[in-house]
Structure 1
């Protein structure tokens, strides 16, 4: 039996993030201005054709699911990778640091610059539309951040975790990951996250703070063929 997180993009757009969804009962996507994610609800021909109709020429979108990624002839994968999906099933040891502050749309440009530099995953100026973000500023500059992205019933994704290279090794990624995860727990939800399987350092960090592997994931960057 499938789990709600096996197709996290689909299950988010079919439930708590339906307000953002383009598409129908067969395939849905987020607006590219928010996050370039798309998914079909199943791998049948009709669903895959519906998925293809949501991706215009010249645009690339990310797909993420536990099942192997099936594509219709109209689409091709320009990048494929393996990922991991991890969950924390109990609140993490609490942290307190007066430097942690909530980020707002006024911080969006600096958040995008940090994400563009460190590449934690797809990120846009409208990332705050999906959930709250928290950060640490040092010397008036955004040194690190973490926030929330996809949401399903009972779950919220920890995402956008990154630290400026000048401040790596100072524990800010750990601090903010625990802080955001515990805020998710405080709402009665379970935090989960994704990382590339090849990013051993990130996986070790998340394991060390209490996350465990739930599923191996398939990742693809997809665009129209030809």
Structure 2
């Protein structure tokens, strides 16, 4: 029996994020200004065509699936990798810390700059439309952040966790990790996350913080092939 997180993007676009989804019954995506993830009902030719029709120009769709992805000739692969999905083994205690503050649209440019510097994964100016983000500022400068991305009934993805290189080693990342996980748990949702399969340092840290490996996924970023 399949799990709701086996197709995290598709199920999020059908439920918690249906209000911002673009597309229809065969293929859906997030607005590119928010995040590049897209998903299909299945890998039938009709579903692939529906996905291709959602893309224009140089727009890229990131597709994540458990099994192999048979990309049709109408699409071009621009990036491919493997992701691991990890899930919390239990709820996290809700904590507070005066250094942590909720981030707002006024922080969006600084959040994007921090993400571009540290590369925690796909991040845009519209990322806050997926869920709340929190950060730590030093002398008014954002130096660490973390928040929520994909959501399905009963589950929420912890994402965007990063710390400026000049401020690493101070425990900011671990603090924000526990804070965001606690906020998700307080809603009654189970926390999960994704990491690049080659990032063994991060995976070991997440395991030490109470997460276990759930599954490994294939990611393909695609765009329409030029005629």
Q: TM-score, normalised by structure 2?
A: 0.95
> How far did 1:12 drift?
0.6
CA distance in 1, matches of 2:177, 2:48: 35
Partner of 1:221: 221
CA distance in 1, matches of 2:172, 2:107: 18
CA distance in 2, matches of 1:207, 1:119: 21
Partner of 1:116: 116
> Root-mean-square deviation (CA), in Å?
1.2
CA distance in 1, matches of 2:136, 2:2: 38
Aligned length: 226
Give the SS at the match of 1:7. helix
> How far did 1:115 drift?
0.5
Unaligned 5+ residue runs, structure 2?
none
Contact 1:86-1:192 within 8 A present in 2 as well? yes
Partner of 1:144: 144
Contact 1:92-1:210 within 8 A present in 2 as well? no
CA distance in 1, matches of 2:208, 2:65: 24
1:58-92 superposed Cα distances (whole Å, 9 cap, x missing partner): 11221122222232221121111011000103123
Give the SS at the match of 1:5. helix
CA distance in 1, matches of 2:183, 2:87: 14
Counterparts of 1:24-173 in structure 2 under 5 Å? Answer: 24-92=24-92, 95-173=95-173
Q: TM-score, normalised by structure 1?
A: 0.96
> How far did 1:94 drift?
5.3
Unaligned 5+ residue runs, structure 1?
none
